[in-house]
Structure 1
Amino acid sequence: MTGVRLTHIGGPTVLIEFDGWRILTDPTFDPAGRRYAFGWGTSSRKLTGPALAADAVGPIDAVLLSHDHHGDNLDDAGRKLLPSARTVITTESGAARLGGHAVGLTPWSSTRLVRPGLPAIDVSATPCRHGPPLSGPIVGEATGFALAWEGQRHGALWITGDTVLYGGVREVAGRLPVGLALVHLGGVRFPVTGPVRYTMTAREAVELCRAVRPHTVVPVHYEGWQHFRQPPSNARRAFDRAPDVPVRWLDIGAPTDLET
């Protein structure tokens, strides 16, 4: 099989299915309405609930968790789901906090997912910086993921994670052929830090994708939260102005088959 089935559940949460594997990114399943504190005077309200409830997702082989310390990437219901997954892959600091069966990766290190009768998946951590220069001690570690398995036609499945556009994330262009890219948008900002952004805008994602040249770009992490400051309509216009970037917007909650 050369394709995958993606179900965008909302925010950064995507169910990835192929060849018997079921992998979930950044589980967020709390209902809308609650305000979450992110530290250092920042907070945000969840505006939209998930398209699927946690108990409707089904069995999960692995959770790819870009970071564990922000409620828009791992909320209470998502945290309760983690023990039911065979493996949780995240940052080194996140794995230390979560314990149990969590595996921590540093940028460009990797681990292998293996199940009898299924193709092995090599999971590599890709660089992220979840804020401006020197913000690491404040915002904490985050990571992206590249998934490679035998039979991919166009290249790895890459998940950017929550990141701004910077040199580390641009390294992917020189190190990996990418077939399908899940790019985290939102242009995250908070009133207390003014114009500083903590994730990419769509314009920045277009710039990144022109360097990486994936076969298909799937935007996620752009709706459902108060601190996502680039409206989805603006993000769509940015991609509309870049016909050379092969974008595919998923209907939230609807399984969609794509090539890798």
Structure 2
Amino acid sequence: MSRVRVTHIGGPTALIEVGGWRLLTDPTFDPAGRAYAFGWGTSSRKLAGPAVDAGALGPIDAVLLTHDHHGDNLDGAGRELLPSAGTVVTTAAGAARLGGGARGLAPWASTTLEAEGRPSIEVTATPCRHGPPLSRPIVGDVVGFALRWEGQRHGAVWISGDTVLYPGVRQVAGRLPVGLALLHLGGVRFPVTGPLRYTMTARDAVELLGAVRPHTAVPVHYEGWKHFQQPRAEIEREFAAAPAGVRDRIRWLEIGTPTDLET
């Protein structure tokens, strides 16, 4: 199976469908308008609701939750959805907080999704650092996910997770062939911490894509929240100036529209 269907629902939330599996990343289904506190004086407001309501989503076989402790990756309605999902895969600390049989992974650890009549999917956690050096005790643990199954033509489906560009995330280039990358962008900043960034900018993404070289790269986590500081128009300008080997790999998805992609 070299093709996968992806629906970008908004923010970091995407539905990935392949081989009868329905996998959901970072569920955020609250309506617009609510404010969320992230700790240590940081907060944000949700500016846009999901393109698909949680009630219209249909059954979910697994939730791939990069982290459970920030409302822009798991909000109230998203949290209510978790018990109905077949499996929740997240950080080790997040699994302990969530309970209910959630599977916790440290970076480069793996688990396998299995079901009769479907291909097995190996889920490997990839490194993230959700802020500047030494910020982990404050911002908490985050992981990305690499999904591998038999028949992929170009390589894994990789969800970067909320991360800045740092040596840990660069390890992906040396350890995984990537067919499809979902990149969490937005250049997150907060007034209380000034110029410090908590997710990648478009310039960071260009550098990372030059190393990882996926067949296709899809931006997510760039709209719908006040603390996302680099909107699509600015990201597109940076991408337009990137080398052809990078910019030709980028694919913007219409939010809410299922799109078939190669992996």
Aligned twin of 2:10: 10
Aligned twin of 2:245: 244
Note the C-alpha offset of 1:101. 2.1
Question: Tell me, which stretches of 5 or more residues in structure 2 are unaligned?
Answer: none
After TM superposition, list the pairs within 5 Å mapping 1:150-229 onto structure 2: 150-229=150-229
Cα deviation per residue 1:154-202 (whole Å; 9 max; x = unaligned)?
A: 0000000000000000000000000000000000000000000000001
TM-score (norm 2): 0.98
Aligned twin of 1:85: 85
Note the C-alpha offset of 1:239. 1.2
Share of identical aligned residues, percent? 76
Q: In 2, Cα distance between the equivalents of 1:76 and 1:66?
A: 16
Cα deviation per residue 1:208-257 (whole Å; 9 max; x = unaligned)?
A: 01000000000000000000001210011111112321100000000000
Q: In 1, Cα distance between the equivalents of 2:257 and 2:106?
A: 33
Q: In 2, Cα distance between the equivalents of 1:18 and 1:125?
A: 19
Letter of the 2:169 partner, please give it: V
Q: In 2, Cα distance between the equivalents of 1:66 and 1:240?
A: 29
Q: In 1, Cα distance between the equivalents of 2:63 and 2:200?
A: 23
Q: In 2, Cα distance between the equivalents of 1:84 and 1:238?
A: 40
Number of equivalences: 260
Aligned twin of 1:21: 21
Report if the CA contact (8 A) 1:65-1:89 is conserved: yes
Q: In 2, Cα distance between the equivalents of 1:22 and 1:231?
A: 28
Matched, 1:104 2:69: no
Letter of the 1:257 partner, please give it: D
Q: In 2, Cα distance between the equivalents of 1:222 and 1:45?
A: 14
Matched, 1:259 2:262: yes
Q: In 2, Cα distance between the equivalents of 1:17 and 1:68?
A: 22
Letter of the 2:187 partner, please give it: G
Aligned twin of 1:124: 124
Q: In 2, Cα distance between the equivalents of 1:32 and 1:81?
A: 18
Report if the CA contact (8 A) 1:86-1:101 is conserved: no
Q: In 2, Cα distance between the equivalents of 1:77 and 1:251?
A: 23
Question: Tell me, which stretches of 5 or more residues in structure 1 are unaligned?
Answer: none
Q: In 2, Cα distance between the equivalents of 1:257 and 1:237?
A: 25
4+ residue runs of structure 1 moved beyond 6 angstroms? none
Report if the CA contact (8 A) 1:165-1:204 is conserved: yes
Secondary structure, counterpart of 2:245 in structure 1: coil
Q: In 1, Cα distance between the equivalents of 2:198 and 2:220?
A: 15
Note the C-alpha offset of 1:43. 0.3
Secondary structure, counterpart of 2:154 in structure 1: coil
Note the C-alpha offset of 1:39. 0.2
